[in-house]
Structure 1
Amino acid sequence: MGRQAAALIPGNLEEHDFEDDVVYRGVHYSGLELSGRAVESLELERCRFSDTKLSGLRVVKSSFTETLFENSDLANVSARDTSLLRVLLTGSRMTGSSWAECSLRDTTIEDCRADLAAFRFSRFRRTVFRNCNLQGADFQNADLTGTQFEGCNLREARFAEATMAKTGFTDCDLLGVNGVTSFAGAVIHSGDLQSLAYSLAGALGITIKD
């Protein structure tokens, strides 16, 4: 993304506002207000969002390719049937956002607050969550094959009916996770087992006594 930055053109709302069926390439959105937009078939490629407000944005059947979101507000974003390909989200707020039936490939989400975010029925490939607050996040029926969670707070996150073959957990807090029976095939760092133990015991009907 660093090589692309020099080629980006400054974005403005007169020429680069979010609308249905538009395509923007190589635009740098910096400090702009895009909250509350509702669009369908939006296509963004090689774009960058810095300190941009996108809270409450609603997108359907849209795509974000080779795009960077940094220090931006994506709280309560609602995305459906939307793809993220080679996307980086860093230092951003994603609280309460919903990514239903979406596709995330070669994507990294790091240092983000994504508590109560929902990724139901979404498909992940070569995706990494790193140092994120994902407390209460919902991955119900998501295909998390090969996804890596590194240093994340996953307390009370929900994984019911998720596919988790080779899903990795390293230095994560898994206390109170729901849907632990879906963890078949997951790879869990030994240090994370203690926080997962109570959920495993509960799912198996085991009572733990001090």
Structure 2
Amino acid sequence: MKDILHQNKEFAGIDYTNQAISGREFDGCTFKNCDFSNTDLSNNSFLECLFEHCNLSNIKLNGAKLQDVTFSHCKIMGVDFSGCHDFLLSVEFTNCSLDYAFFGRKNFKKTKFTGCSIKEANFTDTDLTEAKFADCDLLRTVFQNTNLEKADFYSAYNYTLDPEVNRIKKAKFSTQGALGLLAKYDISIKQ
């Protein structure tokens, strides 16, 4: 991976653990079964890339550009997305483990989270307008000063969020899930 620009390449089964890779551009690349755990991917550009069955736990993304990047069946635990470059930031997560991730102070409008474990993650000061959490476990995830307008929580579960400190206008909740909006009141509701 010594080249600066990588276009339409596939990287499969490679162990990048504990390495520092920076100053690279990846355009239309696919990463399959790669281990990036504890790797510093700061200051790289990923455009229309796909990560499948990769371990990206504890990666560093300071100054990284993620544009139209899809993560499928990946382990992305403990990752701090707040250092990512803001310009055209767009990602999608399918069947990923995003436990302990930090998404704070970023624009994740229309981001799709499908079948993901997002336990004890943090979305403080995040814009999640029109985001979709389909069949996602949000146990002990923090939503604080978060814009959740038009966000879809219909099939999400185990979430609690305070409507008084988050913007939830026109957000979508199931009847069962809406109980997570009342958690702070420590009340008992019989069904």
- TM-score normalised over the length of structure 1: 0.72
Structure with greater strand share of residues: 1
Match of 2:134 in 1: 170
Match of 2:74 in 1: 112
1:6-41 per-residue CA deviation (whole Å, 9 max, x = no partner) reads xxxxxxxxxxx53xxxx3xxxxxxxxxxxxxxxxxx
Q: Give the Cα–Cα distance (whole angstroms) in 2 for the partners of residues 116 and 71 of structure 1.
A: 19
Answer yes or no: is the 8 Å Cα contact 1:46–1:65 preserved in 2.
Answer: yes
Q: Give the Cα–Cα distance (whole angstroms) in 2 for the partners of residues 57 and 43 of structure 1.
A: 18
Where do residues 50-129 of structure 1 align in structure 2 (5 Å cutoff)? 50-122=12-84, 123=86, 125-129=89-93
Structure with greater helix share of residues: 1
Q: Structure 1: which 5+ residue stretches go unaligned? A: 1-16, 24-41
Q: CA deviation at 1:80?
A: 2.1
Percent same amino acid among aligned pairs? Answer: 19
Letter in 1 for 2:142: N
Q: CA deviation at 1:66?
A: 0.8
Q: Structure 2: which 5+ residue stretches go unaligned? A: 167-182
1:208 to 174, 186, 189: 186
Answer yes or no: is the 8 Å Cα contact 1:201–1:207 preserved in 2.
Answer: no
Q: Is 1:48–2:10 an aligned residue pair?
A: yes
1:196 to 156, 159, 167: 159
1:55-77 per-residue CA deviation (whole Å, 9 max, x = no partner) reads 12223343211111101101012
Letter in 1 for 2:186: I
- TM-score normalised over the length of structure 2: 0.78
Answer yes or no: is the 8 Å Cα contact 2:106–2:127 preserved in 1.
Answer: yes
RMSD: 2.3
Q: How many residues are aligned here?
A: 170
